Every structure is written in structure tokens, then in C-alpha cells.
Amino acid sequence: MFNVNAASFAIDDKRILHPVDLAFSQGRLYGLIGHNGSGKSTLLKLLARQQPISQGDIEFDGKPLSRWGKREFARQVAYLPQHLPATENLTGRELIDFGRYPWRGLLGRKSAEDTRQIERAMALTHTEAFADRLVDTLSGGERQRVWLAMLLAQGSRFLLLDEPLAALDIAHQIEVLSLVKTLSQELDLGVIIVMHDINLAARYCDHLVALHSGRLLEQGAPERIMRPATLQSIYGIAMQILASPQSRHPIAVVN
């Protein structure tokens, strides 16, 4: 669905993201990995049309991003930024309701379909209990589930998530990732997520894209990335790979 063709981004002649060629499909969970400043969030913002492409092109569903209308694109692709907007005095249902904006008519009235999609999104994310609670009173994991419900209410085919696990403890990280993985598989959603924890990325993602200093360093299935030499080139530190005693997933540890 997404085709990235030698797309790059620069500010004042400083190259932030060098030309990259990538493809992302529905029904798969993609992890963008790499050290801070490697270009992960920049690439995600290009895909989300939050930043203009300096050179090259990105197509969605065979059409350049520049040819998609704002509302039309929002019906196809939902974006969750790293720094979330304030939710002061908003209940869970009110926040989730914002996801229906691209589908509202000129008068902005809520339709029966809007209500159906909101209820469906809450059921999928198990957030019904938070409908009438203020978002700011929820735990980190509960808040992230409400934000995911908002994206699902948007009815998009792709979710772009910029570090949704930041500031969450390990239990809530696993809770959110498990939910995202299930939604991707059951709803045939394409999901691209910026991540820092290589072990969680390898466990939950179908495909990893490794960036380093704004360049595409490696991509492929987790087992292709989870090699000592590859990880050292990505993160600049020596690691070894251990076999998990309870699953087939490899585990990277610092030497």
C-alpha cells in the first residue's frame, strides 16, 4: 500500500533522511528501529504527510501522497504522534469520537455509522469501561488503548505510531503491543511503529526496518536483523543473541 521511492528529507541543506526505498503492506506489523536521531520519526512523518518530502516520492495505494486530499487521506491512514495533544477534561468517548472527523459532513453531525464505529473501536480495544472517565485519570496503558480506539474509529487501513510505548512500564508495553499485533492480524491493518526496545520489536513485529544516521541500514524479518554483527552496526555496541527458553524468539543482550 505504501511505496517509498528514493524519498528523503533535508532542512537547510542538512540531510536528515537520505533517500530510501521501502514498501509497506496491509496486514503486517512493521517496526522502525535505530538509535536516537537515526531518522525513524522523520520517515514516519513523511508517510503521514506531516512533513514535505525533499526529494523522491511516496505513493499510497498507487497514488502520490501529494495527490491525496486531506480528508480522503485521513480515511486511509491514521497517525499517532510521539507527543500527544492535551486531553484535559475529555472523556474516553469524547477522545475516540475525534477519530470520526474525516467522515463527518459539512455540519459535523454524528451519524448512526459514526456511533457504530465508535462502539466497535471501544469493543476491539476493551475500553468500554473508560467511556465516561476523564482520559487524564487513566493509567498509561489505559490511555494508549483509548488513543488506539480513536485511530480505529477513524476506519483507516494503516496506523502510523510514533513511540507509543514511551513512558510505559514493561507490563503496559506488552499489553499495547499484543493489542496492536492482534488488531493488525484480525483487521488486516498495516501498522508501522517506531520502537526502541529491539527485543520487543523482534518478538512482535513481522518486519523490521533499521535506520542509522538517516540511512536505511537493513530490513527484513526479525531473525535476519537479530544477528550480532547487524545489531552492532545499528546500535554501535556489541551484543550477543540468546535463545529464549520459552519461545522461538531470539533475545539480544549487551556483551
Amino acid at 66: S
Instruction: Give the number of other Cβ atoms within 10 Å of residue 224's Cβ.
Output: 13
Model confidence pLDDT, tens digit, residues 98-116: 999 999 866 668 899 999 9
Res 248: pLDDT: 73
Res 249: pLDDT: 80
Cell of residue 129, nine digits: 469501561
Amino acid at 217: L
Average pLDDT over residues 129-146: 94
For residues 184-200, b (16+ Cβ closer than 10 Å) or e, as one string? Answer: beeeebbbbbbbebbbb
Average pLDDT over residues 124-150: 95
Model confidence pLDDT, tens digit, residues 29-52: 999 999 999 999 999 999 999 999
Model confidence pLDDT, tens digit, residues 70-83: 999 999 999 999 88
Q: Which domains does the chain have, with CATH numbers?
A: 2-254 (3.40.50.300)
pTM of the model: 0.94
The label of the residue with cell 466497535 reads 120
Residue 246 has pLDDT above 80, yes or no: no
pLDDT band at 247 (very low <50, low <70, confident <90, very high): low
Res 166: pLDDT: 86
Residue 63 has pLDDT above 90, yes or no: yes
